[in-house]
């Protein structure tokens, strides 16, 4: 299981225990400006993007996130309950452990502000918390520029989100420009996050890999909502019935006549623990997928 950078995989327990080891007493804030992305003449964001494409470790030494600086970590299960043609961890009947980090693009966290919600998932393809496995990561966002959506659980989070637009984008024009340019230079599409790694896991040699073009997460309506200003408090699982926060998992390959994606339900992510912590924000690491040089999937 070793890779070129010494990654041997992780156990769910060791990653979970580190993330839950240093909870915050009060929720931190973090302001992003253009200067946040540079250290002298060094493009810190470009270095971070390149590291995101190559670093496979699930826990890394303390670092500062530049684009999604604050978030909340949640743990639970990944369960594919519906029939579909997809392979790997999308295959019907698949169950696995999952650790997610929910965050906002840039730094605004409160209701009434433009917030771009993000859900990064780290799937451990096992139900044994002590089995060392190579994790599989995915990324979804609702709208890159953010919206005034009141609840994280009411939006649709996709691996290819719309850009959106609002006055905050104009105020942070150069921040957004540098972000996009750095992502592109690092071979990291600022819009599309393919989920090929999820579909490839466990596929035998010679077996056809079936990957959905689009993946989407949405809060299960049966959970209700928690109406509190900061999204990090909204997503605390103790606020939901039986301490369970559930997201539905959908996938699509084509469009409806209306132009909307033809999503079909695949299953659920059921989250039963949550924490806001220093390790969640500064040590938990997700590997981004490498795109072809053409940018065509």
Does residue 142 fall inside a structural domain? yes
Contact 146, 166 (CB under 8 A): yes
At residue 296 the predicted structure's pLDDT band, cuts being 50, 70 and 90, is: very low
Does residue 294 fall inside a structural domain? no
At residue 52 the predicted structure's pLDDT band, cuts being 50, 70 and 90, is: low
pLDDT value at 46 more than 50: yes
DSSP state of 67: S
Does residue 22 fall inside a structural domain? yes
- Whole-structure pTM value: 0.86
Question: Mean pLDDT over all residues of the chain?
Answer: 87
Contact 26, 159 (CB under 8 A): no
Percent of the chain with pLDDT strictly greater than 90: 69
Domain that holds residue 227: 12-282
Instruction: Kindly report which listed range (21-25, 143-147, 205-209) carries the lowest average pLDDT score.
Output: 143-147
Mean per-residue pLDDT, 242-271: 97
108 or 168, which is more confident: 108
pLDDT value at 195 more than 90: yes
Contact 15, 99 (CB under 8 A): yes
Digit-coded pLDDT (tens) for 63-122: 888 778 999 999 999 999 999 999 999 999 999 999 999 999 878 999 999 999 999 999
User: Which DSSP helix (H) or strand (E) runs through 19?
Assistant: helix 12-19
> In the prediction, which pLDDT does 164 show?
73
Q: Return the sign of the alpha-carbon dihedral for residues 274, 250, 123, 184.
A: negative
Does residue 4 fall inside a structural domain? no
Does residue 6 fall inside a structural domain? no
Instruction: Kindly report which listed range (94-98, 158-162, 184-188, 200-204) carries the lowest average pLDDT score.
Output: 184-188
Distance of CA 247 to the CA centre of its chain: 13
pLDDT value at 56 more than 90: no
Task: Enumerate the β-bridge partners of residue 77.
Answer: 97, 270
> In the prediction, which pLDDT does 294 show?
36
> In the prediction, which pLDDT does 64 show?
82
Among 197, 18, 208, 207, CA closest to 123: 197
158 or 41, which is more confident: 158
Does residue 185 fall inside a structural domain? yes
If one counts the domains in the chain, the total is: 1
Mean per-residue pLDDT, 190-217: 92
CA gap 18, 166 in Å, rounded: 37
Instruction: Kindly report which listed range (19-33, 57-71, 168-182, 276-290) carries the lowest average pLDDT score.
Output: 168-182
Does residue 20 fall inside a structural domain? yes
Does residue 7 fall inside a structural domain? no
Among 98, 88, 108, 278, CA closest to 199: 88
Percent of the chain with pLDDT strictly greater than 70: 79
pLDDT value at 219 more than 80: yes
> In the prediction, which pLDDT does 4 show?
46
> In the prediction, which pLDDT does 163 show?
81
**Rounded to the nearest 5°, which phi and psi values hold at 237?**
-65, -25
């Amino acid at each position: 299981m070793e890779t070129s950078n010494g990654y041997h995989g992780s156990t769910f327990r060791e990653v979970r225990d580190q993330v839950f080891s240093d909870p915050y007493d009060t929720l931190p804030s973090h302001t992003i400006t253009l200067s946040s992305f540079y250290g002298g003449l060094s493009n810190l964001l470009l270095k971070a993007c390149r590291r995101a494409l190559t670093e496979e470790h699930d826990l890394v030494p303390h670092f500062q996130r530049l684009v999604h600086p604050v978030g909340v970590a949640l743990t639970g299960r990944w369960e594919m309950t519906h029939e579909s043609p997809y392979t790997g961890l999308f295959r019907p009947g698949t169950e696995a452990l999952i650790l997610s980090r929910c965050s906002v693009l840039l730094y605004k966290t409160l209701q009434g502000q433009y917030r771009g919600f993000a859900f990064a998932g780290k799937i451990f393809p096992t139900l044994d918390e002590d089995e060392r496995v190579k994790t599989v990561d995915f990324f979804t966002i609702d709208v890159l520029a953010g919206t005034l959506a009141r609840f994280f659980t009411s939006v649709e989070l996709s691996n290819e989100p719309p850009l959106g637009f609002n006055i905050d984008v104009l105020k942070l024009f150069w921040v957004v420009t540098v972000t996009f340019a750095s992502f592109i230079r690092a071979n990291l599409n600022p819009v599309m996050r393919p989920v090929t790694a999820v579909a490839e896991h466990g596929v035998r040699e010679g077996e056809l890999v079936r990957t959905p073009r689009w993946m989407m997460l949405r809060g299960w309506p049966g959970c209700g909502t928690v109406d509190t200003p900061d999204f990090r408090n909204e997503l605390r699982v103790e606020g939901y019935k039986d301490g369970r926060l559930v997201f539905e998992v959908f996938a699509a390959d084509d469009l409806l006549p209306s132009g909307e994606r033809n999503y079909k339900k695949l299953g659920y992510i059921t989250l039963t623990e949550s924490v806001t912590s220093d390790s969640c924000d500064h040590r938990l690491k997700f590997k981004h997928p490498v795109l072809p040089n053409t940018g065509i999937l």
